[in-house]
Amino acid sequence: MRRELERIEIPDEHEARERAWRLVERAFAEREPQPQRRSWKPIAVLAVALVAIAGLLSPPGRAVLDEIRQVVGVKESQPALFSLPAAGRLLVLSDAGAWVVDRDGSKRLLGDYREASWSPFGRFVVVSRANELVAMAPGGDVHWTLPRPDVRFPRWGGSRTDTRIAYLSDGELRVVGGNGKGDRLLDSQPADRAPMWRQGAGHVLVYQRRDGTIRAVDADTGAELERKVPPETFLSQADLALAHDLLGVGDFATPVRSPDGRWLAVGWAEADQFVFVRAAGGRQIRAVANVSAQFRSRSFPTIAGWCCAP
Amino acid sequence: MAAAGRDERASVRAAQRGHASGIEALFRLHWPRAFRTAYLVVHDAAAAEDIAQEAFLAAVRNLDRFDRGRPFGPWLHRIVVNRAIDWTRARQLRGEAELQDALAAPEQAGALDESLLGALAALPPEHRAVIVLRHLLEYTPGEIAELLGLPRGTVNSRLRRGLDSLKEQL
């Protein structure tokens, strides 16, 4: 059988080899450690963003800014490698679709989906494309699909045994059970922003309406729990992060936190890098270069989540 | 065989030291089978090229961490086969292309090729991968089990079912 398998003709075999060799040769040449000059502009962007992040985690201040500058200046990145600095798996969105990245850096394309979110304990992923919401295992096995028009911002929340998925469809905010059943309308006037589940008991969803107000509602009953109150008075730290996004305070790629809480991952589009910042136990920064190419994307990929330690 | 192993280790060492001749030797040695392996699993030349290419780029990226005491081929083949399986599953999930459509591509292939390709295409991607690993790359079932992280019994069962199916169709 080996001879027969080797005799099978493959279209453009020779050309493919030459194309591949050119790429590999170039990647090998670029692999050599190059002293990099960093302009202060991207550093400033990163620093400002990280100060914003730090503001959500610890008291912001000049010291933090200086520390970040110092860390960025001391280049510790290994741009050719792509392994995660902490346990768990990343969800990444690129022009090619939704990807799962394992800790060792191996990647799996789930399919041509434009958005994705982990289930609360990382056992499943909810993905969406124009007219479909899909729940699947990280390995790619589809559990259920729900046809809906113009699906956006799917977000999965809840406990280990009882979960809900919130999403926007055709300009409406809807909620469906984690098993794909019980789909219902929650609000017909949501803003065009991602909702977020509040951590803790119950299924409390925080989202913004088109009139600018922020609401916290019981997703099962639709009852409004809080509304248009300054975020500090009723939002948890996680909610503050949400409010930060909802209110458009920062447009730097939204950071995601590692499952152990020690690392933050942010996208740094200008440098085409994912940057991992250790937020506990001593500052460290690790960078992954050539992110767009690695995820077959023309536009800069987005880190959609980091979950969960096996 | 031992000499080939020494040559390969020398190539890895040279590449790790930054010599382009090392990576070129590894590429020339392993590309044909990596590409063919991917093609026989995905049945799409462009996708196979992407998959094999990505595997080599991953090798370049991880070169410094590579243990020279271990053979390069199995490490590369593992990446290729897993990505080929993932790609095939993703295509099936997307419903963007049917396997039969993909089979129309190699118009110049001979009748034997087409029948063998067609028979392979009828197998699930996991079975195709095991058949290719066993009969093209000549790994033992134990080695395949280790490569794919599967129980040996599963590998044997996939091999047996795959071969039975191929015999029926050929």
- Distance, in angstroms, between B94 CA and closest chain A CA? 6
Greater confidence (A149 vs A41) lies with A149
Q: Which residues of A touch B112 (CB under 8 A)?
A: 4, 7
* pLDDT tens digit sequence for B51-82: 999 889 888 888 877 777 778 888 889 889 98
Closest alpha carbon within chain A to B92: A111
Asked whether A74 and A91 are in contact (CB, 8 A), the reply is no
Q: What local confidence, expressed as pLDDT, does residue A226 receive?
A: 79
pLDDT at A73 over 50: no
Q: For residue A193, which phi and psi values (nearest 5 degrees)?
A: -140, 160
CA distance A90 to A207: 24
Mean pLDDT of the A123-132 span? 91
Strands (E), A35-183: 89-94, 97-101, 107-111, 115-118, 125-129, 132-136, 142-147, 151-158, 163-169, 172-177
Strands (E), chain B: none
Contact check, Cβ <8 Å, A110/B90? yes
Instruction: Give the type of residue at A119.
Output: S
Q: What local confidence, expressed as pLDDT, does residue A35 receive?
A: 36
pLDDT at A46 over 70: no
Put simply, whether A26 touches B (Cβ < 8 Å) is no
Mean pLDDT of the A266-295 span? 76
Contact partners, residue A168, CB within 8 Å, separation at least 6: A150, A151, A152, A153, A174, A190, A192, A195
Band (pLDDT 50/70/90 cuts) for residue A230 is: very low
Put simply, whether A27 touches B (Cβ < 8 Å) is yes
Beta bridge partners of A107: A101
Q: What local confidence, expressed as pLDDT, does residue A173 receive?
A: 95
Least CB-CB distance to A20: which of B39, B49, B87? B49
Instruction: State which of A149-163, B57-71, B83-97 shows the largest mean pLDDT.
Output: A149-163
Put simply, whether B159 touches A (Cβ < 8 Å) is no
Greater confidence (A254 vs B30) lies with B30
Contact partners, residue B89, CB within 8 Å, separation at least 6: A140, B125
Q: What local confidence, expressed as pLDDT, does residue A175 receive?
A: 96
Q: Say which range, A26-30, A76-80, A197-201, A286-290, has the weakest mean pLDDT.
A: A76-80
Q: What local confidence, expressed as pLDDT, does residue A241 receive?
A: 53
CA distances from A270 to A35, A61, A67, B38 (A): 18, 25, 21, 34
Mean pLDDT of the A40-44 span? 42
CA distance A189 to B83: 42
* pLDDT tens digit sequence for B115-130: 888 888 888 888 999 9
Contact check, Cβ <8 Å, A105/B58? yes
Contact check, Cβ <8 Å, B27/A21? yes
* pLDDT tens digit sequence for B149-163: 888 888 999 999 989
* pLDDT tens digit sequence for A278-292: 766 666 777 787 788
pLDDT at A38 over 60: no
Contact check, Cβ <8 Å, A140/B86? yes
- Distance, in angstroms, between A165 CA and closest chain B CA? 21
pLDDT at B100 over 50: no
Greater confidence (A85 vs B1) lies with A85
* pLDDT tens digit sequence for A184-227: 999 999 988 888 888 776 799 988 888 878 888 999 998 888 77
Mean pLDDT of the A28-53 span? 48
Closest alpha carbon within chain A to B166: A1
* Predicted ipTM of the assembly: 0.84
Asked whether A25 and B31 are in contact (CB, 8 A), the reply is no
Mean pLDDT of the A11-20 span? 90
- Distance, in angstroms, between A120 CA and closest chain B CA? 23
Query: What CA dihedral angle connects A143, A138, A118 and A274, to 10 degrees?
Result: -150
CA distances from A193 to A119, A212, A285 (A): 19, 11, 30
Band (pLDDT 50/70/90 cuts) for residue A235 is: very low
CA distance A301 to A274: 9
Q: What percent of chain A has pLDDT over 90?
A: 25
Mutate to test the interface with A, among B87, B93, B136 (most CBs of A within 10 A): B93
Q: What local confidence, expressed as pLDDT, does residue A99 receive?
A: 93
Q: What local confidence, expressed as pLDDT, does residue A116 receive?
A: 93
Q: What local confidence, expressed as pLDDT, does residue A4 receive?
A: 84
Q: What local confidence, expressed as pLDDT, does residue A77 receive?
A: 43
Beta bridge partners of B132: none
Q: For residue B138, which phi and psi values (nearest 5 degrees)?
A: 60, 40
Q: What local confidence, expressed as pLDDT, does residue A283 receive?
A: 64
CA distance B52 to B58: 10
Q: What local confidence, expressed as pLDDT, does residue A105 receive?
A: 80
The burial of A74, by beta-carbon neighbours within 10 Å (0-12 exposed, 13-18 middle, 19 or more buried), is given as exposed
Beta bridge partners of A163: A158
Q: Which two tokens stand for residue A249?
A: 């305070």
Put simply, whether B23 touches A (Cβ < 8 Å) is yes
The burial of A208, by beta-carbon neighbours within 10 Å (0-12 exposed, 13-18 middle, 19 or more buried), is given as buried
Contact check, Cβ <8 Å, A28/B15? yes
Put simply, whether B17 touches A (Cβ < 8 Å) is no
Q: Which two tokens stand for residue A79?
A: 């741009």
Contact check, Cβ <8 Å, B40/A5? yes
Interface of A with B in 145-204 (CB under 8 A): none
Least CB-CB distance to A11: which of B45, B90, B138? B45
pLDDT at A68 over 50: no
Greater confidence (A288 vs A79) lies with A288
pLDDT at A11 over 70: yes
CA distance B78 to B85: 11
Q: What local confidence, expressed as pLDDT, does residue A165 receive?
A: 96
Least CB-CB distance to B61: which of A25, A80, A112? A80
Put simply, whether A142 touches B (Cβ < 8 Å) is yes
CA distance B130 to B41: 9
Contact check, Cβ <8 Å, A81/B138? no
Put simply, whether A112 touches B (Cβ < 8 Å) is yes
Please choose, from the candidates A183, A213, A208, A212, the residue with its C-alpha nearest in 3D space to the C-alpha of residue A195: A208
Least CB-CB distance to B113: which of A8, A24, A106? A8
pLDDT at A299 over 60: yes
Please choose, from the candidates A183, A186, A124, A132, the residue with its C-alpha nearest in 3D space to the C-alpha of residue A156: A124
CA distance A163 to A131: 22
